[in-house]
Structure 1
Amino acid sequence: MKKLFFCLFFSQQLFAQVNPDNIKIARDKWGVPHIFAKTDAEVSYGLAWANAEDDFKTMQLTMLAGKGMVGKLKGKDGASIDYVVALLHCREVVEEQYEKTLSPEYKALIEGYVAGINAYAAKHPEEILLKGSFPTNTKEYMTSIVLSLSVISGVDGVLQKIFSGKIKTLDDFKTGGSNAFAISSSKTTDGSAYLAINSHQPLEGPVAWYEAHLCSEQGLNILGGLFPGGPVVFHGVNENLGWVHTVNYQDKIDIFQLEMNPNNKKQYRFDGNWETLEEKTVKLKVKIGAFILPIKKAALWSKYGATVQTKQGTFSIRLGANKDIRGVEQWYRMDKARNFSEFYKAMQMTAIPGFNTIYADKHDTIFYVSNGKIPVREQGYDWQNIVQGNTSKTLWTSFHPLKDLPQYLNPASGYLVNTNHTPFNATGEKDNLQAKDFDPTMGYETKNNNRSIRFQELISKYEKLSYEDFKRIKYDNQLPEKLQYPIEIEALFQLNSTENADIQSLIETLKSWNRKADVDSKGAAIFLIALNYFSEKAQEISNGVSKEESIAALRHVNTYMKQYFGKTDITLGDLQKLVRGNVEKPSWGLPDVITAMHSKPYKYGKLKVMAGESYIELVKFPKNGLPEIESITNFGASGHADSPHYTDQMDMFLNKQTKKMTLDKAEVLRTAERIYSPK
């Protein structure tokens, strides 16, 4: 009876505005969904259905946060997510802004998406992870979006430091990243503009890329990547233009230490007065073994925002991401932009809280902005560290408009690049912006990394480059001549092999290594184990690796290789594996080469790639006609082990090959292996 009511509810309530018969999902030979419908809302419904067919489990992990139900599924770790949703007032900002700030077009899109995911859940109740989690509604869905945008801004890392009492520690030994570059027709041999969409993400999970093609009769026609549960393409290419994101590290979030009343732990001083912290009780439900236990926890709020009390003091955090729910609407408008003017207008929303954005189009415009929702801050405070939270002078209330942010339009050098490095090295040297010309409180990074240095080494060789040259740069697998890791490690390459007989062969192999992260490289295997060793000891060697520490690292490599492999001449492919299900294959790549890979311990001493090169989309914009697109993903379109598309792109990915894709609806329908409606 309950199941019957469940289905009747959906058929009467949610199907009223979207007719599934009007939606066509065309699966190509790779299983990639191409979704066609009359309206954007119908396409969004079809996207939700198609994504659920491929990875409903991961989608649910994202959506449960909006219902405050992650703890019921994931126990203590999940309950911490539910608590953060409440702490950040994610639902409150949705309630306040949903009707006031979202456009009717975007609300229709979200309603279509939620209807699609609810319809899939109704049709496949056996796949629902948690009883009572469906149906979901638009405000619950948008609550999970606000949390996601806050995580993009770094709130998870800040909260971890506050709760652990380590808010002033050094940054971790970070080597993550993404690549983006655009080449103007002035610098190409065939007169076309090129764009490399090459974000480095986890290979699986809630922020792994999912490829889809969305096409409506309302002007939507875009192919690219989104995260499971995303209602639009986050970066990709439409008929006229394309863009790519990389993570940036400007100052998007502030920590304030409150001056507390010694006689009342819930009062703080502000402008000479004692103010009382707002407090609400969060009712968490936590899975412990076979039981669901209710737990109550207080969530505090000051004039600055979410507030946490610890033994070190009382701290508030303030950021833009939980003050604006339009982030995904901005992506929707970017998806539909037909030219640079429309794209720039969408960017002027500054609702997406971060990300470098590099753009190219068929009209030979290339553009880069280090985007962010960055507060307008009072000068005279150290905004990079903890700020005093007792005065309205530090209570910022507005954000920098897009025009204030570092940006480039059609530089004379003919190219733009970002690899998570400083925005002040984005093109040829003579065309670069200067950090001194920007508000220092925005906190823009000023450092380069291995990938930025290597890219400039490569691009400098060309007055003009061909599309094949462009692809060779994108797939370059070599570290630069001068390493740019966060910790100076050149001492590793300066050891004298005759002075260290026990590691002589390792030293000689490393010194003769060409610094390429190829699968058959022995030097790369040694380097990766040593790099991981240094990463674990980053706090101890923050001033750079010494000769003694280099010797200790290679002795660790020697012991590690002999223990797990019985020899010390293994290759990178012996050590590092790309793994999905029961499929395990040797993988190239190192942290911070252009073809970056990041791995963690797997089994028997081997390492498993967890993040890095994942969804790759390469685009050529000829003067006439549709963009020429090729793409690849690390595994396949489906998250189901029994699907032929679970690992069918894996070999091509490892061989640095791509598949041809198209925005041509007629071509997609002509060659599709399956066409159906979502019902």
Structure 2
Amino acid sequence: MLAISQLNFIKGIFSSWYSRYTSKVFPQKSFRILCFIFSVVFTLAWASPSLTLSQRTTEILWDTYGIPHIYAKDTPNAFKAFGWAQMQSHGNLLLRLYGQARGRAAEYWGEKYLESDQWVLTMKVPERSRSWYKAQTPAFRRYLDAFAAGVNAYAKEHPDLIDDEVKVVLPVKSEDVLAHLQRVLNFTFVVSPEQIAGITDAEQKPGSNGWAIAPKKSATGNAMLLANPHLPWTDLFLWYEAQINAPGIDAYGATLVGIPVLAIAFNDNLGWTHTVNTHDGWDTYQLKLADKGYRFDGQVRPFQTETLSLKIKQKDGTLREQPLIVKSSVHGPVVSEKDGKVLALRVVGLDRPGVLEQWWDMARAKNLSQFETALKRLQLPMFTVMYADRAGNIMHLFNGQVPMRQEGDFEYWQGIIPGDTSKTLWTKIHPYQDLPRVLNPKSGWLQNANDPPWTTTFPPVIKADNFPPYMAPRHMYFRAQRSAKMLAEDPKITFDEMIAYKHSTRMELADRILDDLISAAQNQGSELAKRAAKVLAAWDRQANADSKGAVLFATWAEEIDPDQAFSQPWNENSPRTTPKGLANPASAVATLEAAAAKVEKAYGNLDVAWGEVFRVRYGNVDLPANGGEGKLGIFRVLNFVPNSDGRFQSFGGDSYIAAIEFSNPVRAMALTSYGNATQPNSPHKGDQLQMFAQQKLHPVWRNMKEIKAHLAERKEL
């Protein structure tokens, strides 16, 4: 940026020129006015922070957390720089993900990727990526080409920083980016092979929290937004934090590695986050076989069949070829053929190639109207949208491509659907105006913690009875109840309080049932049960690192049947206070005795600290954990897997956090739990984990002065 003395010098020249010549040579008043305007515009152009050196060229400014701040002279160069930046931070991972999206990972890296290739090819991801590329607008096609060029340029300049085994993926093409997008959105989030196989472990599903707070609920009178996705800390689920500044855009946020635009973001005027919504965008149809085909509306139709050749790399480096027969019905590809039972899969969004451009335009929007114009394209197959802006608007949208179905409720469509009739075959999706949406509720707050849209605020604004019964289920689990409780009970929320609430580890489940459990154990339990009750009575009902009693309670909770445990089951007329109470005190006490014996045997005492048993581990970092499973009603989600030593290690949960206040200037704090890089040479692999364990966020630096004050590296492209 030009110094003040330089600006004053330029302004002096124009003032002198204006006064000396315009009145004498060109006495016309209109011309003198034009000259004055020209001088002002020229001076302001030089003075403008947006026209710094870094926007007359293209630069990546890396801050001390490894976050790239891209200042580009135009949009194609912004995309190129983002491709470069992702390679510097995640090059090995990005190339491996693109190799899998091609359906050639087994050819590149061996047998363990065979099932991945079979899934990708059966879903026709590579083939569709080529048609999606052709369907892009000419401008956005150039942007995708530029992103791929940035990936390839980094690989060419820094071959020594990329693992040899992933270089086989190079050069990357735009079609690879779109194939990866499909694999992530349509064939992991909307539906995955595990879902089709009936593997429905709730704790391994992607999740999220999202808040939008209106000025009337904010202590400062500014709208606020909380973004908090919960994803596994590995593979295609990793977040990448960045800022993109180019003509027409200055957005900060995060995206999944390999995605060329920000998926969760904010700018000076507005911001949004996503949560995984209770969206049903896929169905499996059971086909009735007949004459080498299948029955449909009283006729026999032939399968469409294609034979592909899979190549599988052997340990000696040779390639083994294996045929893959892909069969499809009018519903979609056949995904299972067992014991004469044939299942075909139908998935939304495969005819909607504009996801990336929609996200890009959401980040460029300057107000609610522009933002919703982008949303109304309905290119994004799923995810709730939680929105807030400088004007004070807050919005919750149950976003997604919801099939228009002729019959059945949400539960019906979770099962296997008869595939012999067109009555069950959906071909259209609901338009934007049909989707559950809340704008500026009287409560002043909106929340979503993967619950259906009916419970986004209280008093309720949208009623489930006004929507098709298949739109979304009816329930409100403990984490969502905890979320709503924190918002409802605080009349004026400060920015710091919002962050503190985000890190809350209080177990809503304990608040509903613990008093009854303690009483029952004290009155009718064994000596062990009474000792356990004493520990639970002293417990703070939180899952902080030093919380004693949390391990015992969580062990007990793991053994109960939540559908049978409560004397008062969940009731949609009392959605935030039910379920509660013990249905069978004697059984609960017996379970507590067993849990106490297990804890005492494993850890030596009943009041072992939570952080001694539950650990935050990433790379070589090992720290006491705080937070836990959402089913316990904990807002700060951490998912764990057991270790061989009897302890538990984090594998997912809170992954990206952003707290934003639409003040002037915008105030923001953020964190990428595991750091902003995975490359072996990077100092940012796991470097934010200490802050994560301490329930801290890092400041978001968005203006040039802040970025330069925390500059670690600079790259001009």
TM above 0.5: yes
Match of 1:418 in 2: 448
The amino acid across from 2:401 in the alignment is K
- Residue pairs, 1:106-185, within 5 angstroms: 106-125=140-159, 126-130=162-166, 132-157=168-193, 160-161=196-197, 166=198, 172=202, 177-185=207-215
Residues 492, 310 of structure 1: CA spacing in aligned structure 2 closer, same or farther, 3 A cutoff? farther
SS of 1:26's equivalent?
Answer: strand
1:80 aligns with 2:115: yes
How many angstroms apart in 1 are the aligned matches of 2:652 and 2:700?
24
- Name the CA shift for 1:97/1:229 in 2 (closer, same or farther; >3 Å): closer
Report the alpha carbon displacement of residue 404 of structure 1 after superposing the two structures with TM: 0.6
Q: Deviations over 1:552-590 (max 9, x none)?
A: 654554454445433333110101111122221101001
Taking structure 1 as reference, are residues 639 and 559 closer, same or farther at Cα in structure 2, changes over 3 Å only? Answer: farther
| Compared CA separation, residues 454 and 99, structure 1 to 2 (3 A) | same
Q: Which residue of 1 aligns with 2:575?
A: none
2:334 corresponds in structure 1 to 307
Q: 1:103 — aligned with what?
A: 137
1:250 equivalent to 2:285? Answer no
1:476-504 per-residue CA deviation (whole Å, 9 max, x = no partner) reads 221226778xxx99986564246223444
User: Separation in 2 of the partners of 1:620 and 1:539?
Assistant: 40
| Whole-angstrom distance in 2 between the partners of 1:582 and 1:334 | 38
Change (3 A) 1:150 1:493: farther
**Corresponding residue of 1:13:** none
Q: What corresponds to 2:636 in structure 1? A: 595
CA distance in 2, matches of 1:181, 1:595: 13
Matches within 5 A, 1:510-549: 510-533=536-559
Q: Could you tell me which residue of structure 2 aligns to residue 68 of structure 1?
A: 103
Cα deviation for residue 668 of structure 1 reads: 2.0
Q: Which stretch shifts more, 108-117 or 504-513?
A: 504-513
Matches within 5 A, 1:42-57: 42-57=77-92
> What code does the residue aligned with 1:148 have?
V
1:437 aligns with 2:459: no
Structure with more relative contact order (C-alpha pairs < 8 Å, separation 6 or more): 1
- Aligned twin of 1:37: 72
Give TM-score scaled by structure 2 length. Answer: 0.83
SS at match of 1:522: coil
- For the 8 Å contact 1:93–1:323, the answer to whether it is kept is no
Residue aligned with 1:424, SS: helix
Match of 2:414 in 1: 384
Report the Cα distance in structure 2 between the residues aligned to 1:468 and 1:131, rounded to whole angstroms: 45
- Looking at structure 2, the residues matched to 521 and 33 of structure 1 have their Cα atoms a distance apart, in angstroms, of 37
Displacement of 1:268: 0.4
Task: Report if the CA contact (8 A) 1:68-1:82 is conserved.
Answer: yes
Please state if 1:260 is matched with 2:289: yes
Report the AA paired with residue 151 of structure 1: F
- Change in CA separation of 1:58 and 1:576 when aligned onto 2, cut-off 3 Å: same
2: CA distance between counterparts of 1:546 and 1:107? 62
Cα deviations by residue, 1:40-93 (Å, 9 ceiling, x for unpaired) = 221122112112112212212321123222223554442212111221122333
Give CA deviations for 1:220-264 in whole Å, capped at 9, x if unaligned: 211111111111111021121111111012221111111111xx3
1:197 aligns with 2:227: yes
Q: CA deviation at 1:158?
A: 5.9
The answer for the alignment partner of 1:456 in structure 2 is 484
Match of 2:603 in 1: 565
Percent identity, aligned pairs only, is 27
Deviation of 1:129 after TM superposition, in Å, equals 2.8
Say whether residues 1:470 and 2:498 are aligned partners.
yes
Query: Structure 1 325/297 Cα, relative in aligned 2: closer, same or farther at 3 Å?
Result: same
- Measured after TM superposition, the shift of residue 132 of structure 1 is 2.9
Question: Which residue of 2 is the match for residue 500 of structure 1?
Answer: 526
1-side partners of 2:666 and 2:330: how far apart? 49
Return closer, same or farther for 1:632/1:141 CA change in 2, 3 Å cut-off: closer
The CA deviation at 1:440 is 1.8
Change (3 A) 1:313 1:29: same
| In 2, Cα distance between equivalents of 1:489 and 1:464 | 30
Once the two structures are superposed, what CA deviation does each residue of 1:377-407 show, in whole Å capped at 9, x if it has no partner? 1235843322211222222211111111111
Structure 1 residues 87 and 386: CA distance shift in structure 2, 3 A: same
2:51 corresponds to which residue? none
CA deviation string 1:435-469 (max 9, x = no partner): 01012232x03211222212222222233332233
In the superposition, relative to structure 1, how do residues 170 and 608 fare at CA in structure 2: closer, same or farther (>3 Å)? closer
Matched, 1:645 2:673: no
Residues in 2 aligned to 1:483 and 1:99: alpha-carbon distance in whole angstroms: 55
Q: CA–CA distance in 2 between the matches of 1:77 and 1:531?
A: 36
1:677 aligns to 2:713 (yes or no): no
**Equivalent of residue 475 in structure 2, options 444, 447, 450:** 447
Correspondence for 1:188 among 218, 223, 228: 218
Residue aligning to 1:278: 304
Q: Distance in 2 between matches of 1:60 and 1:132?
A: 9
**Which stretch of structure 1 is more off in the superposition, 511-520 or 284-293?**
284-293
Q: 1:153·1:353 contact (CA, 8 Å) conserved in 2?
A: no
Partners of 2:344 and 2:194 lie apart in 1 by 10
The question of whether the paired residues in 2 share the 8 Å contact of 1:182 and 1:366 is answered with yes
Residue number in structure 2 paired with 1:294: 321
Determine the structure 2 residue equivalent to 1:479: 507
**Quick check: which one's helix share is greater?**
2
CA contact (8 A) 2:252 2:265 kept: yes
Structure 2 counterpart of 1:318, from 335, 343, 346: 346
Amino acid at match of 2:531: S
How many positions carry a matched residue from both structures?
640
Deviation at 1:540?
11
The structure having more radius of gyration, on CA atoms, is 2
1:586 to 624, 630, 634: 624
Alpha-carbon distance, 1:529 to partner: 3.2
Cα displacement (A) at 1:672: 1.7
Residue 673 of structure 1: SS of its match in structure 2?
A: strand
User: Match of 1:60, SS?
Assistant: helix
Give the Å deviation of 1:628: 1.0
Retained in 2: the 8 A contact 1:153–1:321? no
Q: Which of 377, 382, 399 is matched with 1:349 structurally? A: 377
Task: Give 1:417 shift.
Answer: 0.7
Task: Give the Å deviation of 1:131.
Answer: 5.3
Consecutive unaligned residues of structure 1, counting only runs of 5 or more, are: 1-18
Partner of 1:16: none
Provide the alpha-carbon RMSD of the alignment: 2.9
Does the 8 Å CA contact 1:21/1:677 hold for their aligned counterparts?
no
**Structure 1 position 215 matched with structure 2 position 245:** yes
- In structure 2, relative to structure 1, the CA distance for the partners of 1:669 and 1:519 (3 Å cut) is same
Q: Give the gaps of 5 or more residues in structure 2.
A: 1-53, 570-581
